[in-house]
Every structure is written in structure tokens, then in C-alpha cells.
């Protein structure tokens, strides 16, 4: 029987949750095969993400020198939370029946706002159920003008309120990944990547302090993983327009630059590293039992995942901020 692990995206409208998920999908197959793993999307997942991927590629082809970068249209809810799709990937050894199902959840960013009661309850439920949370962050909004548009774009206050409700009493370990997107400008060298990491720690200090409280610190691993979701564009400028709304402009790195995401597979590497460590723990968590059954006695699968997880980056803006013990393998 295939084991199922749930992961949820988290972020406000327009920050790039769906773009992040799409770039993850684009790099999954190549990087997983290098470790003799296969990650196979179900029919609906492949169809949806291929559509989004085509949109991303066409945007970069049509991009002019100083044109505003438009993202893909994210998940829309036509009949409430129950109508939202799940993105399903089956993971296993190459050319063998998959052993683990990864179920990613995405939803409209407006769900995190207090004005959407049903949507907010749905997100809180996801945070409680999911083993891992990937927080998508609009990087230019956090970095430019000393983060002037960070609150408006990334809604960090709403993010921490959701966690404070969902993580009051943890029954098993959690992995939280801060994933700055649209970050190409800010990871060009070690100095700029260090600045990105420090700004993230500053702007999300209240949430990080909540994770570090003694009642939950040993149960939460926290990682930063900047993902270049497009790869071929860099930040240009911000113009404030009608009703004091900012418009962010980007430019291509060269006229013939093409869609080339980078580091999106790091999210999966850290996720599988987390699972391996849970397997090695001697605890009676519900998830521990599932992971133990997954790996025992399948030593070959464990070895393949360990090889893949060993590729986790720890420089260039990548860092383990908390819970090193939950990620040691």
C-alpha cells in the first residue's frame, strides 16, 4: 500500500505559490532520476502543471527589455475549498512500483485573509494535517525600499496568526520551508545571498521566535530555500500607480534568455531528508510509523533517497535555521 505525505503551499495572492509549484514539477523528473528515483504525477496533475509550465515559458519568450513580469494565474476556487485540486506525485525506485505518494495542496492566496472565514479555516486545517509547509515569499517586495511593500504583498502578520492557531499543540514533527521566489536578483553572489537571508530573518522574526518557543522548538525544522522560479529575469524597478498600488518591473538577463528555473528541486531534497531522519528516530509519532513502514525493509529505496537528499544546499541563501536534529542523516 502506497504511503501518503501531505505538503501545503502557503502565501498571499500573487506571491508565486503556483509558479513555485510549477517550477518544482519542471525539475522533479530530471533531478530525481539522477538518484535512481522516479516521481510520477497523476494524469490531472500532469495536465494542470503542463498548462502552467507552457504559460511560464511563453511569458519569457514574449518578455520585452523592460516589460512588467506577469505571473501565471494561480489556483481559483469555483465552489469553495472542497473544489480545489490536489497535485499528486508518486515516488519510488526507478522502474518499480512507487512507494510514497506526495500530495501538494495549493489554494487562492485570499484564503489566508480574515475576511474569508471558510478559506482561512481550510488553510488552518491544512497546516495541522501536513507534514511540511512551503511558504512562498515575494522577494522583491521584501528586499526593495527596505521592505516597504513586504507587509502588503507577503502578509507576514496573517501568516503568523495561522501558525499560532495550527501549531499550538504539535503531535509530530513539522518541516517549514521559507522559499523566496522571484529571487534571481538577490542570489547572484555570496554577499547578496547573505543579505537576502538576513532580511528574511529580520522580516519573519516574530514567526521564527514562535517556532523557537520551548514547547515546540524540538518539533519544527525550519529551512530557507530561495528558488529562481524563472531564472532568466531580474528585478528592474517599482512604480507606484493608481490608488498607491505598486507595479514591479523586471528585465530579461539577455534578449535571448529562456525559461531556466534553478534550485526548485531543493524543496524536495529537504523534504526527503526530513523523512529519512524521521525514519531514524525512536519515537511513537503517527508519521514515524508510516515512514518506518515505508523504508523497512526497503534498503534500496532508503539508499536512493539518501543519495538524493545529500544534495541539499547550505550556502547561497540556503540555511537550516532550526531543527538540525530533524534533518541529520
Q: Over the stretch 214-270, which tens digit does the pLDDT of each residue have?
A: 999 999 999 999 999 888 888 989 988 877 888 888 888 888 888 888 999 999 999
The larger pLDDT score, comparing residue 97 to residue 60, is at 97
pLDDT at 61 over 90: no
Distance (Å, whole) CA 116 – CA 136: 20
pLDDT at 284 over 90: no
- Asked whether the bond before 328 is cis by omega within 30 degrees of 0, the reply is no
Query: Which of the four pLDDT bands, split at 50, 70 and 90, describes residue 67?
Result: very low
Per-residue confidence (pLDDT) for residue 65, from 0 to 100: 44
Give the cell for residue 217. Answer: 522548538
The full set of domain ranges for the chain reads: 3-322
- For residues 177 and 134, the answer to whether their CB atoms sit within 8 Å is yes
Distance (Å, whole) CA 226 – CA 32: 19
Per-residue confidence (pLDDT) for residue 96, from 0 to 100: 85
What is the rounded average pLDDT of the residues 156-178?
Answer: 96
In the CATH scheme, what architecture does the domain 3-322 have?
3-Layer(aba) Sandwich (3.40)
**Positive or negative: CA dihedral 207, 10, 215, 319:** negative
Report the predicted TM-score, pTM, of the whole model to 2 decimal places: 0.93
Per-residue confidence (pLDDT) for residue 68, from 0 to 100: 44
Q: Is 275 helix (H, G, I), strand (E, B) or coil?
A: helix
For the ranges 27-36, 71-80, 276-285, the maximum mean pLDDT occurs at 276-285
pLDDT at 325 over 90: yes
Q: How far is CA 247 from CA 48, 118, 319, in A?
A: 28, 30, 30
- Arithmetic mean of pLDDT over the chain: 88
Distance (Å, whole) CA 268 – CA 302: 15
What is the rounded average pLDDT of the residues 53-64?
Answer: 72
Query: Which of the four pLDDT bands, split at 50, 70 and 90, describes residue 50?
Result: very high
Distance (Å, whole) CA 318 – CA 312: 9
Q: How many CB atoms lie within 10 A of CB 294?
A: 21
Query: Which of the four pLDDT bands, split at 50, 70 and 90, describes residue 147?
Result: very high
Q: What pLDDT digit, counting tens, does each position of 286-309 carry?
A: 888 888 888 877 888 888 899 999
Query: Residue 262 gets which letter from DSSP?
Result: B
Residue 82: which residues within 8 A CB-CB, separation 6 or more?
none
Per-residue confidence (pLDDT) for residue 315, from 0 to 100: 96
Per-residue confidence (pLDDT) for residue 289, from 0 to 100: 86
Pairing relationship of beta strands 3-10 and 100-105 according to DSSP bridges = parallel
Q: How far is CA 156 from CA 151, 153, 182, 272, 297, in A?
A: 6, 9, 17, 27, 43
Amino acid at each position: 500500500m502506497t504511503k501518503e505525505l501531505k505538503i501545503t503551499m502557503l502565501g498571499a495572492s500573487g506571491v508565486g505559490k503556483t509558479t513555485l509549484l510549477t517550477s518544482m514539477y519542471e525539475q522533479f523528473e530530471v533531478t530525481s532520476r539522477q538518484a535512481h528515483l522516479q516521481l510520477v504525477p497523476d494524469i490531472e496533475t500532469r495536465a494542470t502543471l503542463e498548462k502552467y509550465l507552457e504559460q511560464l515559458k511563453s511569458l519569457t519568450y514574449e518578455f520585452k527589455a523592460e516589460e512588467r513580469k506577469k505571473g501565471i494565474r494561480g489556483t481559483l476556487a469555483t465552489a469553495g475549498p472542497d473544489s480545489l485540486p490536489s497535485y499528486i506525485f508518486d515516488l519510488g525506485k526507478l522502474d518499480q512500483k512507487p512507494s510514497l505518494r506526495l500530495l501538494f495542496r495549493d489554494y487562492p492566496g485570499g484564503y489566508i485573509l480574515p475576511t474569508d472565514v471558510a478559506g482561512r479555516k481550510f488553510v488552518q486545517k491544512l497546516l495541522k494535517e501536513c507534514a511540511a509547509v512551503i511558504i512562498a515569499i515575494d522577494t522583491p517586495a521584501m528586499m526593495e525600499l527596505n521592505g516597504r511593500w513586504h507587509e502588503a504583498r507577503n502578509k507576514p502578520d496573517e501568516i503568523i496568526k495561522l501558525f499560532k492557531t495550527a501549531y499550538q499543540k504539535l503531535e509530530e514533527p513539522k518541516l517549514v520551508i521559507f522559499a523566496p521566489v522571484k529571487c534571481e536578483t538577490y542570489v547572484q553572489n555570496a554577499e547578496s545571498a547573505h543579505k537576502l537571508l538576513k532580511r528574511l530573518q529580520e522580516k519573519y522574526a516574530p514567526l521564527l521566535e514562535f517556532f523557537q518557543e520551548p514547547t515546540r522548538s524540538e518539533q519544527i525544522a525550519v529551512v530557507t530555500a530561495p528558488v529562481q522560479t524563472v531564472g532568466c529575469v531580474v528585478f528592474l524597478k517599482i512604480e507606484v500607480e493608481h490608488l498607491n498600488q505598486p507595479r514591479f518591473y523586471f528585465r530579461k538577463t539577455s534578449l535571448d534568455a529562456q525559461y531556466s528555473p534553478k534550485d526548485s528541486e531543493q524543496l524536495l531534497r529537504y523534504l526527503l531528508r526530513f523523512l529519512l531522519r524521521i525514519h531514524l528516530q525512536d519515537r511513537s509519532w503517527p508519521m514515524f510509523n508510516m515512514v518506518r513502514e515505508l523504508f523497512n525493509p526497503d534498503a534500496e529505496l532508503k539508499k536512493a533517497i539518501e543519495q538524493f537528499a545529500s544534495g541539499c544546499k547550505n550556502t547561497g541563501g540556503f540555511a537550516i535555521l532550526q531543527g538540525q536534529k530533524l534533518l541529520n542523516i
